[in-house]
Amino acid sequence: MAGPVEPGQEAGAVLGQVQEDLHKLKVKNTNLKGNIEAMDISDLEAAIERTELGLRRQMQAARQKTRIF
């Protein structure tokens, strides 16, 4: 899984990390072959949380840049 989102990262980089994380989760879940008991959604929740945080930071940074000019 990709590391935490760093301040100043561009939205494209954040989305690229999320895409990679989601692909890994897809492969992991496919390999479970229907064994629902073994399924752990904590990785998915972490990917979503990182996405939300990263995008929120990008929006705040964009707002600050807009206010300066």
Render each residue's pLDDT in the chain as its tens digit; 69 residues.
556 666 666 777 777 787 788 778 777 766 765 665 555 677 777 877 788 788 778 878 877 887 765
Residue 36 CB-half CA count within 13 A:
0
pLDDT of residue 12: 73
Which token pair is 17?
């990390």
Name, in order, each residue with C-beta under 8 angstroms of 11's C-beta and a sequence gap of 6 or more.
54, 55, 58
pLDDT of residue 49: 79
pLDDT of residue 33: 59
Q: Tokens 């949380």 correspond to what residue? A: 49
What is the Cα–Cα distance from 52 to 15, expressed in whole angstroms?
A: 10
